[in-house]
Amino acid sequence: MVVEKFLEIAERKVSVLDDYGDERWDLLPKEIEILLLKTAKLDSDCIESIKSLLFRDLEGPDLVRGLRTKIQARFRPGEDLSAFLVLITKYRLLKARLEREFCSYHESHRSKKSAEQFDELSGREFETYVAKVLTEIGFKDVSGTPVTGDQGADLIAKRDGRTIVIQAKRYQGSVGNRAVQEVVGAVSFYGADEGWVVTSGSFTPSAKALAQKNSVKLIDGHALRNRNFS
């Protein structure tokens, strides 16, 4: 149950794009560390004296030799190191297992975030989904805009030398004029070549007319499902 909770928490943090449009894999080690410390507490394992070895210095091909060298440098000569080796090996293996399980969970969770489940995504998760789709179909340098002060764009993507600002609207109904107006402003603000609105829903007739007038591309849920961005 604790591992399942860890997977959910880590997925929520890792999958949210940073300001450059990248997943936050740098947050995974911290979540693993938290779970290992909770496990040590439940198992009554005293790992305070080896925390830095466990969380910072356990890299390299020869685990046992590397551990022994690092531990001997830290503890008094002649001290029995077997207990420390057992603990470190136990938690190092658990750490590796959590990394494997999370990678598998993340991949499975990503595949489940299909268009049919858009209503289950938060706004930020939908942005992450759109960014991944753009990358998969050949866009380069897909990045997120600041959470605040985004000036009407959620994502910025590049392809064939053109810069495109994109507003991603996780929406069950029909998106109206406001989203189109905001993207028009974003094109000017970011000096972009194009403006897009991508939604999980549809667009009102007036939004379509306004988009056509301002050369804004609209991509609805049906087109998104089929990766049809042409």
pLDDT score recorded for residue 121: 77
Which of 218, 198, 220, 201 is closest to 130 using CA atoms?
Answer: 198
User: What DSSP letter does each residue of 169-185 carry, written as one string?
Assistant: E--SSEE-HHHHHHHHH
Lowest model confidence (mean pLDDT) among 14-18, 72-76, 92-96, 106-110: 72-76
Evaluate whether 227 touches 136 at the Cβ level (below 8 Å). Answer: yes
- Confidence band of 167 (pLDDT split at 50, 70, 90): very high
Q: Could you state, in order of their start, the residue ranges of all structural domains in the chain?
A: 2-112, 115-225
pLDDT score recorded for residue 209: 94
Q: How is residue 116 written in tokens?
A: 């049919």
Lowest model confidence (mean pLDDT) among 80-84, 98-102, 209-213: 80-84
Integer Cα distance of 140 and 191 in angstroms: 17
Lowest model confidence (mean pLDDT) among 41-45, 64-68, 154-158, 199-203: 64-68
Query: Does residue 103 surpass a pLDDT of 80?
Result: yes
Mean pLDDT score, 176-197: 93
- Confidence band of 3 (pLDDT split at 50, 70, 90): confident
- Confidence band of 163 (pLDDT split at 50, 70, 90): very high
pLDDT score recorded for residue 10: 85
pLDDT score recorded for residue 81: 65
pLDDT score recorded for residue 229: 79
Integer Cα distance of 18 and 176 in angstroms: 28
pLDDT score recorded for residue 196: 95
Helix intervals (H) in the chain: 2-14, 28-42, 51-55, 63-74, 82-112, 123-136, 177-190, 205-213, 221-225
Q: Looking at per-residue confidence, does 176 or 230 come out higher?
A: 176
The verdict on pTM exceeding 0.75 is: no
pLDDT one-digit tens code per residue, 49-93: 666 666 654 444 444 555 556 555 555 555 556 777 787 788 888
**Is domain 115-225 in CATH 3.40.1350.10, yes or no?**
yes
pLDDT score recorded for residue 21: 61
pLDDT score recorded for residue 137: 83
Q: Looking at per-residue confidence, does 214 or 83 come out higher?
A: 214
